[in-house]
A = this chain, B = another copy of it.
Amino acid sequence: MEIICLQENFKKGINVVGNIIGKNLTLPILNNVLLTVEKKRLRLISTDLEMAITYWTPGKVKKEGEITMPAKLLSDFINNLPNKKIEIKTKDNSLHIKCENFKSVVKGIDSKEFPIIPKVRGGSILKIEALKLKQAFSQVVNFTSLSDIRPEISGVLIDFNSEGIKFVATDSFRLGEKTLSIKNETKTSVIIPLRTVQELIRILSEQGRDELVEILIEQNQILFKTPDIQLISRLIEGTYPNYEQLISKQFETNLILDRDEFLNTVKITSLFSSKINDLRLKVIPKKSLVEIFAQDTEIGENTSELKGEIKGKEVEIIFNHKYLLDGLNNIDSNKVILGLNGETNPGILKPVGDPGFVYVIMPIKL
């Protein structure tokens, strides 16, 4: 193969595909990226066997062909070259690279050893703007379970239904649900592995905000597609927990609090939490006040008071401060709603003015 392309294009490509390649000691070929010169383009492919990323970049093709190259070295090298033309050419199993005053010979591995990348031939489900998709994933991705015991919650659920698309993640202690109200005619739901979601967020962050991402699903595979990039991933098998009954619409106690003030008070008070991260909220509607309290026998204790619009019953409830903070950190409105139904039922945290996001948090029962 032989092609001339611009450093900035090659750099973008290697940065898009190179991130999922780690140091795989048992299968060294997985540390490599597959370069293919075909028609008028250079194609780069990487895979970790769970997902595969493909990127196409234009170039002046002199000879078609393919080779695999160590991704880490290629990325470090290409990223640091000046933004000029790069000439690349294979000779035996090496790649000869020329750029301005630099001349290199990099050893590769035959492309025949590279794993076969699956294809999704199913029809398109929908197209969605890159920024919207990224934001929806970002708002829930941190709530997935990291344990392998329940694989069905180790990813993000995407539920396509007549209202639009829901993105859901939980680790059984708290749950986040983001709804995008967009036109959608498919009714299906899939669970996407955490690593795939993280990679998608990374790649989407570098796309134009209005760039359309097409989603295709076939059996146990999902494909995300833009004109230059394709990410294909396996799906997680299993049934996602039936979480909807957790999201109450009616509350015995209803609070509207300033988001920053609430967040900061939780952060400060939690310094005094004991090892189980407990934070006690005492809601006193007639004083329009929440007392937030934490105590540890070795450290000491702290009480803070927070004013707000509070209606309904007086209640005392204990939350894990980390889960409260995670919820608040994923809400960017000025005011938040906290809905409670007694000390043993889950609390609901929602931004004021954005009906698309709901956060459910289980109380600690002492």
Contact = CB atoms under 8 A, between A and B. Distances in A.
Contacts of A305: 101
A272 B80 CA distance: 13
Contacts of A299: 70, 73, 106-107
Contacts of A188: none
Nearest to A264: B80
Contacts of A298: 107
Contact of A271 (B77, B107, B272): B77
A81 B302 contact: no
B264 A104 contact: no
Given A73-B299, A107-B299, A304 B268 contact: no
A57 to B, nearest CB: 21
Interface in A301-318: 301-306
A103 interface: yes
Nearest to A80: B268
A93 to B, nearest CB: 11
A163 interface: no
Contact of A304 (B101, B107, B264, B269): B101
A101 B306 contact: yes
A101 B269 CA distance: 11
B271 A102 contact: no
A269 to B, nearest CB: 8
Q: Chain A interface: which size bin?
A: 20 to 34
Contact of A105 (B70, B107, B267, B301): B301
A76 interface: yes
Interface in A70-105: 70, 73, 76-77, 80-81, 94, 101-105
B267 A103 contact: no
Interface string A99-135: 0011111110000000000000000000000000000
Interface string A251-268: 000000000000011011
Contacts of A306: 101
Given A268-B81, A299-B107, A304 B76 contact: no
A238 interface: no
A298 B265 CA distance: 56
26 contacts: A70-B299, A73-B271, A77-B268, A77-B271, A77-B302, A80-B267, A80-B268, A80-B271, A94-B300, A101-B304, A101-B305, A101-B306, A102-B265, A102-B269, A102-B302, A102-B303, A103-B302, A103-B304, A104-B272, A104-B300, A104-B301, A104-B303, A105-B300, A106-B299, A107-B299, A107-B300
